[in-house]
Structure 1
Amino acid sequence: MKKCLLTLFALMMVTPGTSVFAASFNCNQAQSITEKQICAVRSLNDADVKLATTYQLILKAVPMGSRDAQKDRQWQWLKQRNRCGKTIQCLQAQYQNRQHELDTVIEQRILSQGPF
């Protein structure tokens, strides 16, 4: 049931006109080796979109006082992710771990307590 809710929330966050097959950033402007690798590898691209969508959902659903902590954690994770360079296995592990963290936030803070 929770997976269905998470999927529904993720689908609601995709705005019209946004391609679900593009990274969360403009691949034409990718500068770092990591960004270029994310754009080049479909599984990383998909993981990036899913994670970015989940993250945006959390920012909209958690109380204002929690948003700065979520943003700080995301910046720390991005720094950690970028240390992978173009190593696919490292990037996949980073995305899996961070997605798990974000899914836990949704389950424990939003679905169980509600943003209301």
Structure 2
Amino acid sequence: MRILKITLLIVSSFTAMGSYAASFDCARAVTVTEHKICNQLGLNDADVKMATSYNILKRLVPMGTRSVIQDEQVKWLRLRDQCRDNLRCLNDVYAMRQQRIDLYLQQIYQRGPY
């Protein structure tokens, strides 16, 4: 009985982990793009990395710059959603956004030390 409980706990934890991407709950995915991101491990990983980097960046910049970065993110999300389920397009837009966020982070790093 104890082994069954442990097995169920492990399986349920993997199931819960698999239903989330970084920026949204895959169980509530609505758009074709969101479903594609949830179903493609590489896109899911890109989403995790981009969302994490974006959230770090938002905390490192002053409020004026933060609003610019948030506006860019909204525009980028619209661009991403235009890809629909085109894997190549999605990979390209994620790479482009990650590159932009990394550039911001590099500029902050160069102003250091903190």
SS in 1 for 2:71: helix
Count of equivalent residues = 97
Tell whether the 8 Å contact from 2:53 to 2:101 is kept in structure 1 after alignment. Answer: yes
Deviations 1:61-84 (A, max 9, x none): 001121110000000000000000
Tell whether the 8 Å contact from 1:23 to 1:39 is kept in structure 2 after alignment. Answer: yes
Higher helix proportion (structure 1 or 2) = 2
Tell whether the 8 Å contact from 1:33 to 1:86 is kept in structure 2 after alignment. Answer: yes
TM-superposed deviation, 1:20:
9.4
Q: What residue number does 1:39 align with?
A: 38
Q: What residue number does 1:53 align with?
A: 52
Name which one, 1 or 2, has greater alpha-carbon Rg: 2
The 1:20–1:90 alpha-carbon spacing in structure 2 relative to 1, beyond 3 Å, is same
Tell whether the 8 Å contact from 1:39 to 1:45 is kept in structure 2 after alignment. Answer: yes
The 1:63–1:114 alpha-carbon spacing in structure 2 relative to 1, beyond 3 Å, is farther
Give the structure-2-normalised TM-score.
Answer: 0.80
Describe how 1:1-116 pairs up with structure 2 within 5 A. 22-24=20-22, 25-108=24-107, 110-114=108-112
Structure 1 unaligned spans of 5+? 1-18
Sequence identity, in percent? 40
Deviations 1:40-80 (A, max 9, x none): 00000000000000000000000112111000000000000
Greater RCO (Cα-Cα under 8 Å, separation 6 or more): 1
Tell whether the 8 Å contact from 2:38 to 2:44 is kept in structure 1 after alignment. Answer: yes
Aligned-residue RMSD, C-alpha:
1.9
The one-letter amino acid of 1:23's match is A
Tell whether the 8 Å contact from 2:21 to 2:38 is kept in structure 1 after alignment. Answer: yes
The 1:36–1:42 alpha-carbon spacing in structure 2 relative to 1, beyond 3 Å, is same
TM-superposed deviation, 1:113:
1.6
Structure 2 unaligned spans of 5+? 1-16
